[in-house]
Amino acid sequence: MADDKKKQTADKKKTETKKSSPKKTETKKSTAKPKASETKKSETKKTETKKSSPKKGEKVSKGDIITFDFDAWVVDQDGTDELFETTSEELAKSEDIFDEKAKYQSLTTLVGANRVVAGLDKSLEGAEVGKKTTVEIPPSEGDGAWDPKLVEIFPMREFAKEEYQPYPGMEVTVKNKTGRIVTVQSGRVRVDFNAPLAGKTVRYEYTISKKANKADEKALGIIAMDYGNSEDFNITGKDDLLEITLPEICKYDQNWFVMKYRVVGDLREHTDFKSIKFIEEYIKKEEPKEEKKADDKKADDKKEDKPKSKPKAKPKAKKDEKKE
């Protein structure tokens, strides 16, 4: 019996030591690899950032729709260059050419279609996306040579009809021609009808930020190029049909009514879509149902709070009437 008790106590000690020792599976948990779904999520995030950034070394060809930013300077012989146009609002303010009416935003154009100055258009073809490029454009590839025959003199009374006082640098329209006033002397006004940069060498510093490769990107680029803005346009392209859901502003913007036909013409010429459909949505605003339910509950609660009217008691019959 004593030997049996000793065996039992020895067995108990063995079981206790087994329970106290840590399991091997616990150490495996801490070194477990991440799930496949978690690695896929991280991979998708990487591909999203790659899509948004321009491709390094991607070249521009004739017929491409691109978006770019630029600074344009007049190159003077004395070395003092003058900024006359830019897509940067900050630079426009620092160079004192800021215009409150102007829109300082990236420019979208169709390369090789004479949508910009000839010298700049020529430079864009073969340029690299994401790389800053500088090009000097002579008058022959810009606004042309200055022509003295395009300078005319008018009497002051010609401008008195318009009820404004002319001054040098003022832009005016005389006899359906637009020019700039050069001098105002002795009752005579000298107007230059040459292009603003005629006879001047200009320098463009530009960076191409985007090149449209997909059909929907090209469609949005054409809208931005012709209309000046492509925000809030919803585009769906399927087979030969292009559906464009218009933003709210297009419903009352006169500029859109004019430019819409140019947009259609460029979409037909520079995309493969055969049918173009514009969609205007007019959505009726409905009151939220939850608020209605809350109002109905309040009305019901008020009804319950009101004391119920008791039924009127019938008048008691008089004793004399009972006897009869």
Query: CA gyration radius for the chain?
Result: 40
* Per-residue model confidence (pLDDT) at position 283: 83
* Per-residue model confidence (pLDDT) at position 157: 87
Instruction: Tell whether 103 and 116 lie within a shared domain.
Output: yes
Instruction: Tell whether 65 and 121 lie within a shared domain.
Output: yes
Domain annotation covers residue 94: yes
Instruction: Tell whether 107 and 206 lie within a shared domain.
Output: yes
Q: What is the mean pLDDT of each run of 10 residues along the chain (324 residues)?
A: 49 47 44 46 37 69 97 89 96 96 95 96 96 96 96 90 86 92 93 96 97 94 95 92 95 94 95 93 77 60 58 56 47
What CA–CA distance (Å, rounded) separates 7 from 14?
11
* Per-residue model confidence (pLDDT) at position 282: 87
* Per-residue model confidence (pLDDT) at position 308: 57
Structural domain ending residue among the three candidates 254, 269, 285: 285
Q: Give the number of domains in the chain.
A: 3
Domain annotation covers residue 316: no
Domain annotation covers residue 102: yes
DSSP-assigned letters across all residues of 193-246: -S-TTTT-EEEEEEEEEEE--SHHHHHHHHHHHHHS--TT-EEEEETTEEEEEP
Domain annotation covers residue 317: no
Domain annotation covers residue 202: yes
Tens of pLDDT along 221-261? 999 999 999 999 999 998 899 999 999 999 999 999 999 99
Query: What CATH number is given to the structural domain containing 236?
Result: 3.30.70.2210
Range of the domain at 232: 212-285
Query: What CATH number is given to the structural domain containing 118?
Result: 3.10.50.40
Instruction: Tell whether 92 and 228 lie within a shared domain.
Output: no
Domain annotation covers residue 300: no
* Per-residue model confidence (pLDDT) at position 155: 92
Instruction: Tell whether 206 and 74 lie within a shared domain.
Output: yes
Asked if 248 and 254 count as a contact pair (C-beta separation under 8 A), the reply is no
pTM: 0.68
* Per-residue model confidence (pLDDT) at position 296: 62
Instruction: Tell whether 78 and 103 lie within a shared domain.
Output: yes
* Per-residue model confidence (pLDDT) at position 285: 79
Tens of pLDDT along 259-268? 999 999 999 9
- The residue count for the chain: 324
* Per-residue model confidence (pLDDT) at position 309: 56
Asked if 207 and 132 count as a contact pair (C-beta separation under 8 A), the reply is yes
